[in-house]
């Protein structure tokens, strides 16, 4: 059996407001993570945003320990736009057993999201995540910043992760 030949696919017009995200991004320096019940940490991350002609952006995020380079966190999913609006749904599955839908809007080259639905595996460790907000912002110098805030059973919403990336493809 032969594999299909991959031809460049025309972008679906529904996702044009997200075209600034497309490609592969590498952290340009270690990001910082912190939360009251964990030791602060530094990490590296690769983001990949792509499309296959559907009205959806596909994504995969891979984080690594900044010093040991051991794999840490993984996320993958899809970004959908509500037709004829700037409303966005960010659908993500995490290797920690968390699955969520974040919703928000894209304005220019900024994507603001807040959790709409959070589900977890039955044996997820506590405290449980109760809320997530996330911002992607493309700066004038072409760097992409991601900030993630989180609330748990026993902590209010607070910044958890902050990292910047440069486009590598």
Going from N- to C-terminal start, the domains of the chain cover 13-167
In three-state secondary structure terms, 167 is strand
Q: Is the pLDDT of residue 7 over 80?
A: no
Q: Is the pLDDT of residue 120 over 70?
A: yes
Q: Is the pLDDT of residue 162 over 60?
A: yes
Match 């072409």 to its residue by tokens.
142
Q: Is the pLDDT of residue 5 over 70?
A: no
Q: What is the mean pLDDT of the segment spanning 13-37?
A: 96
CA 76 – CA 63 distance, rounded (Å): 12
- CATH class as words, domain 13-167: mainly beta
The answer to whether 109 and 138 are in contact (CB under 8 A) is: yes
Per-residue pLDDT tens over the stretch 128-148: 999 999 999 999 999 999 999
pLDDT score at 4: 58
Confidence band, pLDDT 50/70/90 cuts, at residue 37: confident
Q: Is the pLDDT of residue 2 over 80?
A: no
CA 19 – CA 143 distance, rounded (Å): 15
Residues contacting 2, CB < 8 A, separation 6+: none
pLDDT score at 129: 95
């Amino acid at each position: 059996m032969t594999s299909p030949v991959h031809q460049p696919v025309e972008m679906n017009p529904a996702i044009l407001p997200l075209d600034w995200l497309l490609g592969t991004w590498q952290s340009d320096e270690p990001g910082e993570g912190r939360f009251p019940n964990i030791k602060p940490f530094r990490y590296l991350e690769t983001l990949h945003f792509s499309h296959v002609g559907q009205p959806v952006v596909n994504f995969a995020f891979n984080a690594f320990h900044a010093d040991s380079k051991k794999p840490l966190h993984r996320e993958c999913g899809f970004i959908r736009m509500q037709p004829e609006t700037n409303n966005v749904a960010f659908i993500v599955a995490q290797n920690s057993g968390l699955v969520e839908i974040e919703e928000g809007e894209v304005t220019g080259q900024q994507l603001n999201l807040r959790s709409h639905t959070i589900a977890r595996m039955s044996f997820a460790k506590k405290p449980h995540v109760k809320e997530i907000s996330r911002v992607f912002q493309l700066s004038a110098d072409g760097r992409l910043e991601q900030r993630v805030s989180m609330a748990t059973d026993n902590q209010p919403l607070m910044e958890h992760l902050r990292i910047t990336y440069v486009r590598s493809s």
